[in-house]
Amino acid sequence: MIEYPKIETPFNREADGGKKLVEGSFRSEAVKYLKDAEWVFTEKVDGTNISIVWDGHRVQFHGRTERASIPSPLVNFLTMKFGGDVNEELFEQKFGEMGVILYGEGYGPKIQNGGGYRSDVSFILFDVYIPADDLWLRRDAVEDIARTFGIDVVPIIMTGTIQEAVDFVKTAPKSTMGTAKMEGLVGRPAVELRDRMGRRVITKIKVKDFV
C-alpha cells in the first residue's frame, strides 16, 4: 500500500490565518518556474481516493489510507471490475509479476458531492504507478490500461499555462459528467517532471478557491 501523494495548490494562502489564495505567490519553485510552460489539465473528480494494488499475484483495494473505509456499493463495484480469477488473469497478462498500483476516484451517489455525476457508483482512473521503478506511467499508457479493464479515465479538459487554468476555473464550469459542477483541475507539465527533492511536479486548481 502506497498512499497517493498529496497534491498542493499552486499558490500560498494568506499569512494572517485567512484561507484565500494569494495569486502569484507560488508554493513550489518548480511550479513557478514552469508556470508559462504547457501543462495538461484533467478534471478533478469529487469522490473518494481508491487504489487498486496488483502485487504480482493478487489484487487488493484500498482507500486513501490503510484505515479508510470504502462504501459497500463501491466495494461491490470494485470487486466486479477487478476481483475474481478472470480479472486476476487480466492483471497477469498485462503486468506479469510486476507490481502496479491503479489510482482513481470512487464516485457517485452518497460519495462526497458526487450524486450529480451519475446515478450509480463507479471508479474513474487518473494515475498508474510502478513501485519497483518509481515510475508514473504516461497518459497513453494510462488510457490503454483503462481500456483493458473497461473503466473510465479522467478527461483532459485543457492544455495551457497555470494562469489560463486559473482563469478557466474562475468561470465556475460544469463537469464533463452528468449535471455536477466541476470541482477543479489537476495539472501536470506536458512532459513528466520532478523537482530537486525528487517529488513529482503536479498541482490542483480548485473552483472553490477562486469563485
Packing angle of the helix pair 84-95, 139-149 (nearest 10 deg):
150
Question: 54 near 99, Cβ under 8 Å?
Answer: yes
pLDDT of residue 161: 98
Domain with CATH 3.30.1490 in the chain: 11-45+155-209
- pTM: predicted TM-score of the whole model, two decimal places: 0.93
Fold of 11-45+155-209: Dna Ligase; domain 1 (3.30.1490)
Gap between the Cα atoms of 81 and 104, Å rounded: 13
Gap between the Cα atoms of 58 and 75, Å rounded: 16
Fold of 48-153: D-amino Acid Aminotransferase; Chain A, domain 1 (3.30.470)
pLDDT over 80 at 109, yes or no: yes
Tens of pLDDT, residues 13-69:
988 766 789 999 999 999 999 999 999 999 999 999 999 999 999 999 998 766 568
Tens of pLDDT, residues 72-108:
999 999 999 999 999 999 999 999 999 999 999 999 9
Angle at 44 between CA 39 and CA 49, to 5 degrees: 125
pLDDT over 80 at 192, yes or no: yes
Tens of pLDDT, residues 154-189:
999 999 999 999 999 999 999 999 999 999 999 999
Cell of residue 70, nine digits: 470504502
